[in-house]
Amino acid sequence: MTAHPLTDVFEEHRPLLMDVAYRMLGRVADAEDVVQDAWLRWSRADRDEVRAPRAYLVRVTTRLAIDRLRQVRARGEAYVGPWLPEPYVTEFGDTVPDTAERAVLAESVSLAVLVVLETLSPPERAVFVLREAFGYPYAEIAALLDRGEAAVRQLAGRARRHVEERRTRYEADPARRRDLTERFLAAAAGGDLAGLMSLLAPDVRLVGDSGGKAKTPVRVLHTADKVGRFLIGAARKDGPGLTLRYVETNAGLAILALAGDRPDALFQLDVVGGRITTVYIIRNPDKLRSLADR
């Protein structure tokens, strides 16, 4: 059976729409809902009015994501402990062949950058994502958001300064990140505190996100000594009952810990200058559901 042309066009652009929605929201389920809503708009659209399907779909998705982000913030729900974005499986494959473009896309979806993006207003976040992650011209962003180009440039400048002031430097070399991740896992799982400490920057941070639904530190841990001792203690207590595997999430190698076939925790590292500067641990079960089949 041949697919309907409407479906063919939408499916062609679905990966892009999902990438935009996730960077806007930091939540996989919300991004999927936004893309589904975009499909409903697309299926009802007047074909004579849609001369550029890609532009139309990105515009609809961005506006829906802005609305969803405003709704989430308006609810003002309290979150127990540090908040991290939901892990997002990223496999660029052959669709992004250019190394420089891969680096830009990778940084824009990293946990460190997404945490900073949470502090932007919805319009600032939309402009930053479209401009910095996907390289849209200011004029095109202005058309997508129904704003003047001067206003869009202002939003972009304000968002860029905000992000630059708060984000950490990014180790773009995947080979170096993989090497540090593999050595980190070997040291932690083997109870090698000295080996682990040699990988951690002196001012390393450990950020744990459980949403109050699992055990992680309720505050960010600082210093190599505290982080190293916590990780070794956790590995001794919980490690024997877990199966560990590597997955690629947020454009970086991560360690997925499984209890049976259930995702129990995801570990991902920020690496700068050959040292681990941040250890992220996600244990909120609601955020790990999308990794169940990995």
- State which residues form the domain around 249: 174-291
Among residues 133, 166, 199, which one ends one of the domains? 166
Output the pLDDT for position 228.
Answer: 97
Q: For residue 219, is it within any domain? A: yes
Please indicate, yes or no, whether residues 136 and 66 belong to a single structural domain of this protein. yes
Output the pLDDT for position 272.
Answer: 87
Output the pLDDT for position 292.
Answer: 79
Please indicate, yes or no, whether residues 191 and 149 belong to a single structural domain of this protein. no
Please indicate, yes or no, whether residues 148 and 67 belong to a single structural domain of this protein. yes
CB 54 within 8 A of CB 13: yes
Please indicate, yes or no, whether residues 243 and 281 belong to a single structural domain of this protein. yes
Output the pLDDT for position 173.
Answer: 75
| Number of domains composing the chain | 2
What are 231-234's contacts with CB under 8 Å, separation 24+? 231/188, 231/196, 231/206, 231/279, 232/188, 232/191, 232/193, 232/196
pTM above 0.95, yes or no: no
Please indicate, yes or no, whether residues 18 and 162 belong to a single structural domain of this protein. yes
Output the pLDDT for position 11.
Answer: 93
Chain centre to alpha carbon of residue 128 = 15
Q: For residue 84, is it within any domain? A: no
Q: For residue 99, is it within any domain? A: no
Tell whether the torsion through CA atoms of 256, 29, 221 and 177 is positive or negative: positive
Q: For residue 236, is it within any domain? A: yes
Low-confidence ranges of the chain (pLDDT < 70): 1-4, 76, 91-105, 168-172, 294
DSSP-based three-state secondary structure for 235: helix
Please indicate, yes or no, whether residues 40 and 179 belong to a single structural domain of this protein. no
Please indicate, yes or no, whether residues 21 and 146 belong to a single structural domain of this protein. yes
Q: For residue 31, is it within any domain? A: yes
CB 222 within 8 A of CB 207: no
Among residues 166, 193, 218, which one ends one of the domains? 166
Amino acid at 261: D
Output the pLDDT for position 45.
Answer: 82
Q: For residue 241, is it within any domain? A: yes
Please indicate, yes or no, whether residues 229 and 282 belong to a single structural domain of this protein. yes
The rounded distance, in Å, linking the Cα atoms of 164 and 151 is 20
Q: For residue 207, is it within any domain? A: yes
Please indicate, yes or no, whether residues 149 and 198 belong to a single structural domain of this protein. no
Please indicate, yes or no, whether residues 153 and 179 belong to a single structural domain of this protein. no
Output the pLDDT for position 2.
Answer: 45
CB 124 within 8 A of CB 158: yes
Please indicate, yes or no, whether residues 154 and 33 belong to a single structural domain of this protein. yes
Where would I find the H helices in the chain? Answer: 5-25, 28-44, 53-75, 99-108, 111-117, 122-128, 138-145, 149-166, 174-189, 193-197, 224-238, 285-288
Q: For residue 267, is it within any domain? A: yes
Please indicate, yes or no, whether residues 182 and 267 belong to a single structural domain of this protein. yes
Reported as a single tens digit per residue, the pLDDT across 158-190 is 999 999 888 766 666 778 888 999 999 999 999
CATH number of the domain within which 225 lies: 3.10.450.50
CATH number of the domain within which 22 lies: 1.20.140.160
